[in-house]
Amino acid sequence: MATSLKNLSAYDAADVPDASALSIGIVVADWNIEINNQLLKGAVDTLRKHGVSDANIFISRVPGAFELTYGCKTLAESYEVDAVIAIGTVIQGETPHFNFICQGVTYGISELNLSFEIPFIFGVLTVNSLEQAQDRAGGKHGNKGVEAAVTAIKMALLS
């Protein structure tokens, strides 16, 4: 697994452009809220670190991962943002539900990227266990929220 070789929070801050002129939207799923709140914290802290002011960080919440696509679309239509980060966690269960949710969210975020003139960042964990989610939300593999925020900054400033 690629993540086992990389800490998601490890990056060279010098490689991240100044983001003080950016506005960033974040849509967070309430399902698996403990994990998602850690991902959100990682994202917000990283955006602040690179100059995004609190007044330019717009956060919306949706019930679950499947609703992230609509939440992202609504946020992008409601605020003038330079990028939107989707944050959620889908944990494998005993039924195929996991596959349907993961496929739907992945497709939805991809479609938003093609439909809007701003980037939508996939900050969704798709894991086999709660332990794997914890490892990627501030645990031994860092925080996927940090990675999503860095990606949002770089993509928003892509020329």
Other Cβ atoms within 10 Å of 124 Cβ, number: 24
User: pLDDT tens digits, residue range 11-54?
Assistant: 989 899 999 999 999 999 999 999 999 999 999 999 999 999 99
pTM for this predicted structure: 0.94
**What are the structural domains of the chain?**
22-156 (3.40.50.960)
For residue 89, pLDDT over 50 is answered with yes
At residue 8 the predicted structure's pLDDT band, cuts being 50, 70 and 90, is: low
Q: Which residues does the annotation mark as catalytic?
A: 97
